[in-house]
Amino acid sequence: VAPSVVYINVTQRSNANGFDLLQPTDQPKLPGLIPPGEMPDGFRERSQGSGFIFDEAGHIITNVHVVEGAERIEVTFRDGLTVRAEIVGLDPDSDIAMIKVDSKGLSLQPLELAKIDGVFVGQRAIAIGNPFGQEWTLTTGIVSAIGRTISSGSGGFSIPEVIQTDAAINPGNSGGPLLNSAGQVIGVNTQIISESRSSAGIGFAVPASI
């Protein structure tokens, strides 16, 4: 499924330093280069995340906190091709976003979504993403718990039926798929609990049914 997972690079107006562990995890934001004539005074931040192909029309699923407020979104595919993407839908209450690339000339391979009733504790869990900018990193573990409820990071809303996993989830995995052994998406990696800002074996994924 690696060709169906993408690396997302976002440029946005600078308004924070690093990432807030009280919010869903993301790659630490770093000052980016400012193309002449494109950016106004000040500087921009760059952040990274992951996503996966949803359909052949060019729709890609990721997290809201990866792309929200973006001025420029670039999607890189496994073969090295990088294209621009635009936001077409945001649901902050579930931290799920949909972005879109121009599918003309692209051979896109959508991933299959699994139903929540097929997910069980002890099931093998596989994450593919871009932790700390290390593209297409695969980590494995099990489904540690199901039915968790976590804060969406948007007001007072919570996300139900969340999947907990001990597969290593780190900043940059945000928006990437959590898969079963058949390669079906069981969830979208979105948060971790960690005081060290790295995997402590407690990661959360929004279920694919949501």
The set of catalytic residues is 65, 95, 174
3-state secondary structure of 64: helix
Evaluate whether 191 touches 197 at the Cβ level (below 8 Å). Answer: no
C-alpha–C-alpha distance, residues 175 and 50, integer Å: 5
Burial class (CB in 10 A: 0-12, 13-18, 19+), 24: buried
Choose among 27, 50, 26: nearest CA to 176.
50
Q: Which helix (H) or strand (E) holds 75?
A: strand 70-76
DSSP states of 80-146 as a string?
S-EEEEEEEEEETTTTEEEEE---TT----PPPBPPGGG--TT-EEEEEE-GGG-TTEEEEEEEEEE
Choose among 85, 11, 94: nearest CA to 48.
11
